[in-house]
Chain A
């Protein structure tokens, strides 16, 4: 049995912070600076105007001119969500966080830990969360999500039974539920145009016809409507080591890079690192104009060299949309112990050649066999120019 925890408008609520009155009026998360100009989560009042999450900003404002745009707070959302996930994990749940505000876990192993029934597990989850959330449980992940969508804040909805029970439960529900999954989020609209309003109608269609019209997302939607879903993939509990720097004045450019250098050095000096290299870090900033900025940076190879880390991170820092007043660097994935030790012997040439070969291989994989060619002098002294050289595959 899968349990789904749903906190509607989580990102909007976190970004609104103390300004709770915003949530009572038409409001939407503004697009993140430098990203696609689409609104994020929207308030109930905005939904009444026909504004939907992911709608182009221009269209949203045309539908609702008084729409308040709330600056996004990706760093705050990530922190708040992490706290909630940790609380869920504290009851022993192996949680798969799908997106901020939506997480699932398998209840089977927890039933005996928490009083022997599913209701006790749900009660334990609610107590651990300490925040209003909708809980749903069902035989599949999608069914649990559908149940959570229909649950009330203090009354979880449970679908008992197997795949058939899930299909029967889902049958009268609207196809709009498919928006809850990133892979099928675009389907409800075209399905609606074809007159398919419920998941039962979708499940009744021939599989081949759905595949023919909608491709892979359509097949996934069809499987979900049948009450089937993929297995849960719980996250590995991350080990976070982070450093924060409050900047004396709003900084940008070279000054900010110096601050970044300091943060990198401090992070690498932390005892919890235990000599391990870093595979991925999160760089976050609080902007002087309000809102936050957050970027996860996976390194090409695990490293513990401050110079190379600075090089990789400085390029991301250049994307900062406004001067920052606080900068934060967190290690989110560790690599093996000091894997970036240099070899004793100088092997620069061989290494360069190997990198070049790998680059050529990747370019060919992406753009075809003619992506990397070299000039071969066939008859360099010929008086006829076109006979002097040819392009041949780079080997």
Chain B
């Protein structure tokens, strides 16, 4: 029996590591990838798969940097580390 090659799949919007320095008091990002944050537009918490072996806890921030770019970053609340995501 011949083996059938699995169809290749590429995920879209995969997180990429970002360099973020955040306010120690409320976790609000201040600098994202070397750009100062001008405004925070929105923030939300995502908790998912808490019933599984690989739960997920992220604090998302949608910010505008001083160069006018709209960026979405999140802080991984389980593993630590900051990521950029579209």
Residues of A within 8 A of B (CB): 369-370, 373, 375, 383-386, 388-393
Contacts and interface: CB of A to CB of B under 8 A. Distances in A.
Given A383-B46, A385-B85, A386-B85, A375 B12 contact: yes
15 contacts: A370-B10, A375-B12, A383-B46, A385-B86, A386-B12, A386-B14, A388-B12, A388-B13, A389-B11, A389-B12, A390-B10, A390-B12, A391-B9, A391-B10, A393-B8
B7 interface: yes
A376 to B, nearest CB: 8
Contacts of B64: none
Interface of B: 7-15, 46, 48, 56, 85-86
B28 to A, nearest CB: 21
Contact of B13 (A369, A370, A373, A389): A389
B7 A391 contact: no
A369 B5 CA distance: 13
Per DSSP, chain B at the interface is: loop
B5 to A, nearest CB: 10
Contacts of B15: 386
A383 B13 contact: no
Contact of B9 (A384, A388, A390): A390
Nearest to A395: B7
A385 to B, nearest CB: 4
Contacts of B11: 386, 389-391
A370 B10 CA distance: 10
Contacts of A383: 46, 48
Contacts of A385: 13, 85-86
Given A392-B7, A393-B7, A384 B12 contact: no
Nearest to B56: A384
A94 to B, nearest CB: 51
Nearest to B85: A385
Contacts of A389: 11-13
Contacts of A392: 7, 9-10
Given A383-B48, A384-B46, 7 more contacts: A386-B12, A386-B85, A388-B12, A389-B11, A390-B10, A390-B12, A391-B10
Contacts of B8: 369-370, 393
Contacts of B9: 390-392
A384 B48 contact: yes
A230 to B, nearest CB: 41
A389 B12 CA distance: 6
Contacts of A384: 46, 48, 56
A373 B48 contact: no
Nearest to B74: A385
Most chain-B Cβ atoms within 10 A of its Cβ — which of A370, A385, A391? A385
Contacts of B10: 370, 373, 390-392
A393 B15 CA distance: 22
B79 to A, nearest CB: 15
B49 to A, nearest CB: 9
Nearest to A391: B10
A373 B11 CA distance: 12
**Chain B CB within 10 Å, residue with most, of A386, A388, A393:** A386
Contacts of A388: 12-13
B58 to A, nearest CB: 8
Nearest to B86: A385
A385 B14 CA distance: 8
A373 B13 CA distance: 15
Contacts of A375: 12
Contacts of A391: 9-12
A391 B14 CA distance: 12
A288 B11 CA distance: 57
A97 B80 CA distance: 73
A386 B13 contact: yes
A390 B10 CA distance: 5
Nearest to B14: A386
Nearest to B46: A383
Contacts of B13: 385-386, 388-389
A386 B48 CA distance: 13
